[in-house]
Amino acid sequence: MSNATTTYADFYRQSIDKPDAFWASQAKLIDWFKPFDRVCNYDNPPFAHWFEGGQTNLCYNAVDRHLKDRADQAALICVSSETGQEKTYTFKELHVEVQRMAASFRALGVQKGDRVLIYMPMIAEAAFAMLACARMGAIHCVVFGGFASGSLASRIDDATPKVIVSADAGSRGGKVVPYKPLLDEAIRLSSHKPEAVLLADRKLAPMAMVAGRDHLWNELRETHLDAQVSCEWMNSTDISYTIYTSGTTGRPKGVQRDTGGYAVALAASMKHIFDGRAGETYFSTSDIGWVVGHSYIVYGPLIAGMATILYEGLPTQGMDGKPDGAIWWSLVEKYRVTVMFSAPTAVRVLKKQDPALLKKHDLSSLRALFLAGEPLDEPTARWISEGLNVPIIDNYWQTESGWPILTIANGVEEKASKFGSPGVPMYGYRVKLLHESTGEELTKPGEKGVVVLEGPTPPGFMQTVWQDDERFVATYWKTVPGKMVYSTFDWGIRDKDGYYFILGRTDDVINVAGHRLGTREIEESISGHLQVAEVAVVGVADALKGQVAMAFVVPKDAGLLQDSAASLKLEKEIMKRVDDDLGAVARPARVRFVTALPKTRSGKLLRRAIQAVCEGRDAGDLTTMDDPAALEQIRDRVAAA
Ligand code: AMP
């Protein structure tokens, strides 16, 4: 609700000028078992420790504390247009299920500080598992269910989980996607082996059980029906979870988050940014495998006492499995959703549907639609804004930040959005634009620079890279000469009113339909094919998905370029390889064969030049290029396609 006495500018200034007082006041939004002694310890930059000395629990704040006032209100609403199933858990029922899951974990040997890897479709058990970990102080690592064995194996090795939680299968577009064989293959590939695997059996696909290792949740649950597992009081700075994200190297990074800071950050954002109120319903269409799923499917709405919808399925498929471009709007109507969160790509998919579908259901409960994960183009924003007639709020953030960096805080003061801009810096974030090479701060409107944050980063922000403080500092805090600032690796500009515009990544990360992918990971998978000599993967603009991956491959046998049947065969094999290693999300949209790749004289791949040529733009300064013919060849291949 707007607070007429506070302007957002004042609110923001307080967070920057008097951060301790500001965050101490926000910390009242959650329940503490033991109050904190110190708001922020920044004695050892860039490591910020929030609410030191305090003790709390994420699950307690998300579930238990609501039992007093709203035990019988909806907490978790699970809807699957894939299986046609729909089930609501009240806070009381959620409390019971989470304890059953926690007791099952305990029976499998999980203790405080152990890792539990969660590789699951969008089903209730995924949320139970996350909350059960938080309840007992185990660290969850959710891996997106769309990732394949290779990606999963490298995450198992990094997280070294004691237990893995999974299911027989997910389903997409009516097609069953078995998870168990992918998981078994990942465990075969990984050096670390979990002690136990807990499986939810949806009866969608047969499961080969490994005796002594694999356990059925459906059975274990029965033995813990009345389980009571109390919340483990965690130090505020104790780790709650890690989530893997892609960077410029092939090795994914485990983004590590604390407990108290995260809980406060989410509670504050639910109030000031999303303006979600207890007793209402929140609907985020993301997946628990992404940070949005952690913050705004599971923890954020529940901490705020809201019901949250966990949706499995496409945006265009009805509960009967038949096409229905209004399925999401029917859920808004049925569950009286007040706040919705989605991604621009999803809206671009809906934009292909009959616009009358936006008017088919009663959407009067909806107050705002938040969109994030990738740039929101103006035509998409206008289309949905006119169709729904509610504010469309772009918000910019990253896996690392855990909650929005730039947006509009309508819960503090209602402010107009500007098309193409996610908005202004959120409270607690010291956002700056720096010159790419000199590191000089850019203060004039319209100047393009790297978006950076000055420390200390606010509560909820990543603590470090899991088990690798050095990598955290080297990757994020040492990119600008002479300055210790956090780089977002995004280009941005600021206009005269202080609104930011994000212009894309400064590194080799691409964004396909809101999914963040490292081009290096895809290149590593492709170069593992015996017939591939070299490969470059770039992100190319795409009208629907924002970007798609395009691979340029130098085959070991140059004769392949003249043989269309052999080229086609290798292209298919390359696609399959990426599917098997990383998952279909990472599969290149196109593979083109060339005899050489454009590089600098020192041998560095000129990915940005390749990308520019693919998008029909000027390739920029090529004075350091070794072999100009290589770029011409790419231009020809793209033109010929
Ligand atoms: P992820 O960590 O997967 O959430 O990806 C974060 C990246 O997605 C950011 O660094 C940006 O490049 C991009 N991104 C996220 N939200 C937005 C937005 N609202 N506008 C433009 N780019 C965005």
Distance of CA 228 from the midpoint of ligand 1 (Å): 40
pLDDT at 591 (0 to 100):
95
pLDDT tens by residue, 215-247:
999 999 999 999 999 999 999 999 999 999 977
pLDDT over threshold 80, residue 602: no
What contacts 578, CB < 8 A, 6 or more positions away?
A: 522, 525, 526, 586, 587, 588
Q: How many angstroms separate the first and last alpha carbons of the chain?
A: 53
CA distances 390 to 362, 367, 370, 384, 486, Å, are 13, 6, 10, 9, 34
Q: Whose CA is nearest to atom 9 of ligand 1?
A: 398
CA–centroid distance, residue 342 to ligand 1 (Å): 13
User: Judging by beta carbons within 10 Å of its beta carbon (0-12, 13-18, 19+), is residue 331 exposed, middle or buried?
Assistant: buried
Residue with tokens 């819960």: 411
User: Stretch 545-553: mean pLDDT, rounded?
Assistant: 94
> What's the predicted TM-score (pTM) here?
0.92
228-264 per-residue burial string, b: 16 or more CB within 10 A, e: under 16: ebebbbbbbbbbbbbbbbbbeeeebbbbbbbbbbbbb
Asked if 385 and 409 touch (Cβ cutoff 8 Å), the reply is no
| 178 contacts 168 by C-beta, under 8 angstroms | yes
Fold of 433-505: Luciferase; domain 3 (2.30.38)
Q: Which residues pair with 546 in a beta bridge?
A: 542
Each residue of 105-127: pLDDT tens digit?
999 999 999 999 999 999 999 99
Distance, in Å, from the CA atom of 122 to the CA atom of 140, rounded to the nearest integer, reads 16
Distance between CA atoms of residues 371 and 557, nearest Å: 46
Q: How deeply is 621 buried, as exposed, middle or buried, from its count of CB atoms within 10 A (0-12, 13-18, 19+)?
A: exposed
pLDDT digits (tens, 9 = 90+) for 129-158: 999 999 999 999 999 998 999 999 999 999
Amino acid at 111: Q
In whole angstroms, give the CA distance from residue 579 to residue 585: 8
- Residue 2: pLDDT band (50, 70, 90) is very low
Question: Treating both helix axes as pointing N-terminal to C-terminal, what angle do 628-640 and 607-614 enclose, rounded to 10 degrees?
Answer: 30
State how far the Cα of 250 lies from the Cα of 578, in Å rounded to an integer: 13
User: 527-640: what fold?
Assistant: GMP Synthetase; Chain A, domain 3 (3.30.300)
Distance 370 CA to ligand 1 centre (A): 13
High-pLDDT (> 90) share of the chain, %: 82
- CA 162 vs CA 118, 213, 481: distances in Å: 11, 11, 41
Measured by CA distance, the residue closest to atom 23 of ligand 1 is 374
Question: Strands 307-312 and 175-178: what pairing?
Answer: unpaired
Ligand 1 binding residues, C-beta < 6 A? 245, 291, 372-376, 394-399, 422, 488, 490, 502, 505, 511, 516
Pocket test for ligand 1, best of 499, 516, 517 (most atoms within 8 A of CB): 516
**Domain(s) of CATH 2.30.38.10: residues in the chain:** 433-505
Which CATH number does the domain 8-432 belong to among 3.40.50.12780, 3.30.1490.20, 3.10.129.10, 3.40.50.720? 3.40.50.12780
Name the 3-class secondary structure at 129: helix
169-172 vs 175-178, strand pairing mode: antiparallel
190-210, pLDDT tens digit by residue?
999 999 999 999 999 999 999
The CA 398 to ligand 1 mean position distance, Å, reads 6
Structure tokens at 512: 């396909």
In angstroms, how far is CA 112 from the centroid of its own chain? 25
- Which atom of ligand 1 lies closest to the CA of 395? 19
Query: Is the pLDDT reported for residue 3 higher than 60?
Result: no
Rounded distance from Cα 545 to ligand 1 centre (Å): 13
The reply to whether omega before 481 is within 30° of 0 (cis) is: no
